[in-house]
Amino acid sequence: MKDLSQDEWVEQLKKDKNAVVLDVRTMDEVEDGVIENAMHLDIYKGQEFISALEKLDKTKSYYVYCRSGNRSGQACAIMDELGFKKAYNLDGGILQWTGDLVSYK
């Protein structure tokens, strides 16, 4: 797991052909908008969250964010424990995001 600044996160994401953007906020938060192409898994779902993570492809790179960077940091730590080799936390979360947001589909 690695904490990345927004600039690092965006730059690395652009170059990564094996990337998945993962939003770990609540559904209420997600309704305010997401980073484009984000997959949503609510970290507050507990075992349901862990079960969903276990179904993901561990060979991919995951760019994880939440509201402030705390929950996404926790999510990255859980992913590390589950055997994910490439999980990147957006430091500062969506609160410091200056890019565009789109409606969650």
DSSP-derived letter for residue 56 is S
Which of 13, 35, 43, 66 is labelled catalytic? 66
Contacting residues for 48 by C-beta, under 8 A, at least 6 apart: none
Q: Under the phi-then-psi rule, with left for phi > 0, alpha for psi from -120 to 50, and beta for the rest, what region is 25?
A: beta
* Residue 76 annotated as catalytic: no
DSSP-derived letter for residue 5 is -
Asked if residues 93 and 65 have their Cβ atoms less than 8 Å apart, the reply is yes
Closest by Cα among 105, 27, 99 to 63: 99
Catalytic positions, please?
A: 66
